C-alpha cells in the first residue's frame, strides 16, 4: 500500500469520525408539524382494495414528542431535502406495512413532492422490537422451536429508524443517488452507490448472488426454516449489504446502509442479529463490522455535509 493511499484512508477515518459526532440540536426540524395530514385518497384506496380497513390516526401528545425527537435526529441532508420536498406525512391505523413513501402527482416536476405514510403502531415499539418481528417473518420455527432470532438495535423508538429509512428514499429520489430511470435489461448508468454491487435495480452482481440469500423472502423466495438462519447470515457476511431487506433492490440497499450507519455511528446504538438456541447465542451478524460494508462507509459522508 502506497503512502498516498494511507493518507487518503486516514483522512476518511477522521472525516467519518467528525461526521458521526454531529447532531441536529440547532437545526430547523419543526417544519414537519405543519405537514402532518390525512394520507392521500389514493393510498387509502390501495389498502381498501387489498381488503384492509385503513383509518387516519391522530397523534397523542406522547406520540407527537416521539415524532419530534425522530426528526431532530435526522442527518443534515435529510432535513434539507425534506424541508423542500416533503409535502405531507401521515399516520394510519390498520395499515398492512410499516411505511410507504409516495410521489405526489403534480403538473410541475422540477420540484418533486412526496407523502410518507406510517403505520401508527410503530410509535409504540422500540427499534429492537420492531426489527426483530420483521426479521422473524423470514423464518419458520415450527420444526425447531428451541431456535430464536433476536435483533439488538437499542431502545430508541422504532419511528427513528423507519423515518430515517423512508426519508433516505426521498433524498435518493431527489438527488438520484441510485439510478432512477426505467432500466430493466438495458445498460445501467451506475452511481457510486450501485457500481460493482448491483447489475440491475434488483439483481446484485454475480459474486454477491448467494444461493442461500436468493431463497429468502426479500429476494423473492419464501419463508425459510430457522435452522438455515446461520448459513444465511454467514452468506450475508460475504456481501456489502447491511441487511437482508437491503438486498431487495438498490433503493432499499441505500436506505438500509444510511439508516444502520446513522444508528450505529451517530446515535451510538448497536445493530446485531443473534441466532440463539435454548437462549444461548449460536451465531451473530453485525453488519458494521463487515469488511465489505466498511468499504462503503465513505458513501455516507454526503448526508452530513
| pLDDT level of residue 99 (50, 70, 90 thresholds) | very high
3-state DSSP assignment of residue 116: strand
Nearest CA to 213 out of 195, 197, 185, 237 is that of 237
Residue 140 has what DSSP assignment?
A: E
Please indicate whether residue 68 or residue 18 has the higher confidence score (pLDDT). 68
E strand or H helix that includes residue 110: none
Q: To the nearest 10°, the Cα dihedral for 284, 289, 294, 298?
A: 110
pLDDT of residue 23: 47
The per-residue DSSP string of 143-206 comes to: T-TTEEEEEE--SSBHHHHHHHHHHHHHHHHHHTSS--S--SSSPP---TTTTTTEEETTEE-G
pLDDT of 18 above 80: no
| Mean pLDDT across 173-178 | 96
pLDDT of 120 above 50: yes
| pLDDT level of residue 53 (50, 70, 90 thresholds) | very high
State pTM to two decimals: 0.89
Nearest CA to 148 out of 278, 46, 245, 60 is that of 278
Tens-digit pLDDT profile for residues 209-246 = 999 999 999 999 999 999 999 999 999 999 999 999 99
Q: Is the dihedral of CA 33, 267, 273, 282 positive or negative?
A: negative
Amino acid at each position: 500500500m502506497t503512502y498516498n493511499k494511507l493518507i487518503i484512508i486516514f483522512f476518511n477515518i477522521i472525516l467519518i469520525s467528525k461526521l458521526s459526532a454531529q447532531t441536529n440540536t440547532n437545526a430547523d426540524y419543526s417544519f414537519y408539524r405543519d405537514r402532518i395530514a390525512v394520507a392521500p385518497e389514493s393510498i387509502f384506496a390501495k389498502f381498501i382494495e387489498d381488503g384492509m380497513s385503513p383509518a387516519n390516526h391522530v397523534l397523542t401528545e406522547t406520540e407527537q414528542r416521539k415524532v419530534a425527537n425522530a426528526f431532530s435526529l435526522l442527518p443534515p441532508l435529510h432535513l434539507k431535502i425534506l424541508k423542500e420536498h416533503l409535502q405531507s406525512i401521515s399516520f394510519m391505523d390498520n395499515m398492512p406495512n410499516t411505511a410507504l413513501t409516495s410521489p405526489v402527482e403534480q403538473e410541475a416536476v422540477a420540484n418533486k413532492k412526496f407523502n410518507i405514510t406510517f403505520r401508527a403502531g410503530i410509535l409504540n415499539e422500540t427499534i429492537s422490537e420492531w426489527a426483530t418481528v420483521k426479521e422473524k417473518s423470514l423464518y419458520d420455527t415450527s420444526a425447531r422451536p428451541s431456535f430464536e432470532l433476536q435483533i439488538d438495535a437499542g431502545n430508541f423508538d422504532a419511528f427513528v429508524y423507519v423515518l430515517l429509512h423512508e426519508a433516505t428514499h426521498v433524498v435518493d429520489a431527489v438527488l438520484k443517488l441510485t439510478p432512477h430511470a426505467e432500466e430493466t435489461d438495458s445498460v445501467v448508468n451506475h452511481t457510486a452507490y450501485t457500481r460493482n454491487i448491483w447489475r440491475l435495480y434488483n439483481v446484485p452482481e454475480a459474486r454477491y448472488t448467494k444461493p442461500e440469500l436468493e431463497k429468502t423472502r426479500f429476494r423473492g423466495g419464501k419463508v425459510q426454516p430457522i435452522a438455515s438462519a446461520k448459513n444465511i447470515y454467514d452468506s450475508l457476511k460475504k456481501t456489502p449489504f447491511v441487511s437482508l431487506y437491503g438486498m431487495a433492490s438498490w433503493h432499499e440497499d441505500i436506505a438500509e446502509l444510511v439508516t444502520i450507519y446513522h444508528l450505529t455511528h451517530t446515535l451510538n446504538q448497536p445493530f446485531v442479529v443473534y441466532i440463539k438456541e435454548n437462549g444461548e447465542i449460536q451465531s451473530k451478524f453485525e453488519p458494521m463490522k463487515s469488511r465489505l460494508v466498511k468499504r462503503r462507509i465513505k458513501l455516507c459522508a454526503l448526508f452530513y455535509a
